[in-house]
């Protein structure tokens, strides 16, 4: 899906992401991205998921506004969260916070099926348009409160949350398979937030590993109350 006008900027961004992955390895435990993750990031055109006025900066390593008080995440954050999920073509993934659809597209390059929930209808519609235009048939978009997950399609091998919650929504833990993984930012709005890896053992025991200080927009929905 890469196109020539953005090829140089995309390669420069990937070099910057690789350097940041190395620099944060003490927190995340990941020295490099898997080749499949790097390839997915190279294939997905980030400029197609941002408003037109920001397309000239689409391959800079920072978040960008997408309207409705929301942002498309910093490319490094998309990369490291995807890396931490340890995806495979057989995995079923739930994403909370579709936004403009960029993270879902990256996930869809690596997983079998992606189910993604967005609480803002206009953003969900935008994401659907982007994803259909790019030919993604394995992404399913729902408008709703991500705090409750998507029970009708559960369980999920992997869950990713792209907005900060004060605690892990119980519904998401329930919808995660045994030996599953979840990556999400935890912490209050405007306060200290950490990217967190959640694992569920074969016996159903849930463990949390705090990894990296981050700053995300808040997760909208019942989890805030």
Length of the chain in terms of residues written = 225
Instruction: Tell me which H or E stretch contains 196.
Output: strand 193-200
Positive or negative, the CA dihedral 69, 157, 145, 208 is negative
Q: Which of 73, 100, 119, 147 is catalytic?
A: 73
Identify the DSSP state of 222: G
CA angle 80, 25, 77 (to 5 degrees): 20
Tell me if the bond preceding 155 is cis, omega within 30° of 0: yes
The predicted structure's pLDDT at residue 222: 65
Quick check: is 100 catalytic? no
DSSP calls for 68-109? TTEEEPPHHHHHHHHHHH---TT-EEEEE--TTSHHHHHHHT
The predicted structure's pLDDT at residue 1: 46
The predicted structure's pLDDT at residue 117: 98
Contact between 74 and 50 under an 8 Å Cβ cutoff? The reply is no
Identify the DSSP state of 189: T
pTM of the model: 0.94
Backbone Cα Rg of the chain: 16
The predicted structure's pLDDT at residue 5: 72
- What does each of the 225 residues of the chain score in pLDDT, given as a tens digit? 446 678 899 999 999 999 999 999 999 999 999 999 999 999 999 999 999 899 999 999 999 999 998 999 999 999 999 999 999 999 999 999 999 999 999 999 999 999 999 999 999 999 999 999 999 999 999 999 999 999 999 999 999 999 999 999 999 999 999 999 999 999 988 889 999 999 999 999 999 999 999 989 888 776 654
pLDDT in tens, 57-70: 999 999 999 999 89
What are the chain's domains?
4-224 (3.40.50.150)
The predicted structure's pLDDT at residue 188: 87
């Amino acid at each position: 899906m890469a196109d020539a006008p953005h090829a140089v900027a995309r390669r420069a961004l990937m070099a910057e992401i690789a350097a940041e992955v190395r620099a944060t390895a003490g927190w995340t435990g990941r020295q490099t991205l898997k080749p499949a993750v790097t390839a997915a990031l190279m294939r997905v055109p980030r400029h197609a998921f941002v408003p037109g006025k920001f397309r000239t900066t689409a391959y800079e390593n920072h978040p960008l506004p997408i309207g409705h008080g929301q942002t498309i995440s910093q490319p490094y954050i998309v990369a490291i969260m995807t890396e931490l999920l340890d995806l495979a073509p057989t995995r079923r993934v739930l994403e909370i916070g579709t936004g403009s659809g960029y993270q879902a597209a990256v996930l869809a390059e690596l997983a079998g099926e992606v189910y993604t929930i967005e609480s803002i209808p206009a953003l969900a519609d935008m994401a659907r348009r982007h994803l259909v235009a790019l030919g993604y048939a394995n992404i399913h978009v729902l408008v709703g409160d991500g705090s409750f997950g998507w029970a009708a399609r559960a369980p999920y091998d992997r869950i990713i949350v792209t907005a900060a919650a004060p605690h892990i929504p119980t519904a998401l833990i329930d919808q995660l398979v045994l030996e599953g993984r979840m990556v999400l930012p935890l912490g209050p709005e405007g306060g200290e937030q950490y990217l967190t890896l959640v694992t569920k053992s074969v016996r159903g025991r849930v463990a949390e590993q705090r990894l990296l200080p981050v700053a995300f927009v808040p997760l909208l929905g019942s989890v805030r109350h």
